[in-house]
Amino acid sequence: MTSIGIDLGTTNSAASTLIGDREEILDIEGDRTIRSVVSFEPGDDEVLVGNMAADLMERNPDVTVSSIKRHMVDDDYTVSIDDDSYEMTEYAPEEISALVLKKVLAGAEGSLGEAPDGAVITVPADFPENARAATRRAGELAGVDVLRLLSEPSAACVAYGLRDRDEDIERVAVYDLGGGTFDISLVDVAHEDKFYDVVATEGEQELGGDDFDEALAEWIAEQIEDETGVDVTDDPGAFLQLKGKAKNIKEQLSARNSATFRDPGTISGENVDIEITREQFEEVTEHLVDRTIEFSETAIESQDMTPDDVDTVLLVGGSTKIPAVKEAVEEFFGQEPSQEVNPDEAVAIGAGVFADSIDPKKALEGDGEDRSELPSDSEGIDVGDVVPDDLGIELASGKIDTIIESNANLPTMERREREYTTVEDNQTRALIKLYQGEGDTVDDGDLELKTEFVLENIREAPANEPEITVQVKLDEDGVLSAHAWDESVVGSDVIDPEDADEVADGEAHIDMTPSGDEEKLSVEEIRALLPSIA
């Protein structure tokens, strides 16, 4: 039985497993990593996924999807494909991600000679609840049993094998700058307990290599306009080509001090040569590097620490190859960061090692529930994660009452007994809405609606008399479940909402109806509609 780890990245994806006692990145059609890109070729009945799809981004931008991971946090985001070749015309982010995962799984099966029994899929440490749930759903749509969602900093620590070292390493900072997202996480290494515990995390879902490419492309566009009078930003196709060239120049400047942008006329219509120095690149991207350091400072301060309290710093993600990034990290922490493991592969390797330590049968016993007590095998690798942002309930006034605070350890459950009530006389129903993020009210904060449901059969009574309890639980993957009930109906004994249906007819009965679930297709139905991959 073989389980694998998958780094489902914004820019690139990879998979690994343990073969014997050696970590192996699995070959996917001749490559160690593939681009997380999907191209819906017009007139075809299957999609291209991976590096071949990435080659088509400039030619067919309207039917090619990249960086979909950035939109996993947006429940309303869809990708529209205007072509009769496909049964589906609109795809949610998890459906696009499922196609990428199918490609990774097909490659893994080719490398291993058998289909994996299950997979550990990595997520950014600051991924909110709905994005984690969407990632799990993507795995289900791809047809793989998702054993665990593993935070990327935890995966990096596993890849480095920090708990097995003789060095006195107890507090680790994982600086993870990938193609689309940035995370800074503080991880405690408990050597005796063989445990990695993420104690704090900060970051941004739209801060990564893509933004460095765009900043450089915009600067080049200004030089082109100065030289030719043509504003290439007015043409989405031309700017996409320019961004692709900017990415190549960025990579060249990581190895040398200057590079040349050449346009034979395909972008601006004129022959243009622009010499770009590393210093110029660093100037136009300095604000992005500074932003990552600001997040690093916030994470450190949240634990009443200073950078000197960090024993070692791990660099993860392809964008940490940028010299200015490494220099900024070294300056902030006062030590040279470690890149012993390939930053492009560290997360995948750690996920593969962790996947090997999980008994798939035991892991799937929970299947969507809290699996925090499930044992691992003799390797004894265990990890802990934290809640990335405050989670709270919206009150009638529009204010948010925080129930679970950021950086609380996962899994976690909070029950607010008898703390909520009705606002109208004889009110028998209440809409309960849970938000995650920062802010005191829905209108003035950076908040995302995570779930909403209707609590019914509240006892008819004057306003403020019913005593409503709300229970919120985040499992070890950070996936949310929430319940509520009317204590004044149930009586003095608290009834677990999961047992509410067992209340006899004529007695107090609790009924919760998640909004919109009735119209959703099942995993099997959506999986049948997804196109085949090439």
Q: Which long-range contacts (CB under 8 A, 24 or more apart) does 374-379 make?
A: 379/353
Residue at 467: amino acid letter? E
- Helix/strand/coil (H, E, C) string of 428-493? CCEEEEEEEEECCECCCCEEEEEEEEEEECCCCCCCCCCCEEEEEEECCCCCEEEEEEEHHHHCCC
CA–CA distance, 338 with 346 (Å, rounded to integer): 12
| DSSP structure class, residue 405 | -
Q: At what angle do helices 278-302 and 236-253 cross, to 10 degrees?
A: 80
Element at 508 (helix H, strand E)? none
Half-sphere exposure of 61 (CA within 13 A, CB side): 11
- CB contact burial 129-138 (16+ within 10 A = b; e otherwise): bbbbbbbbbb
Q: 262 and 249 in contact (C-beta within 8 Å)? A: no
CA–CA distance, 152 with 310 (Å, rounded to integer): 18
Half-sphere exposure of 247 (CA within 13 A, CB side): 14
Tell which residue, 56, 32, 54, has the closest CA to residue 42: 56
Catalytic residue list? 7, 69, 152, 176
CA–CA distance, 296 with 192 (Å, rounded to integer): 28
Element at 130 (helix H, strand E)? helix 129-142
CA–CA distance, 383 with 196 (Å, rounded to integer): 5
Q: 355 and 120 in contact (C-beta within 8 Å)? A: yes
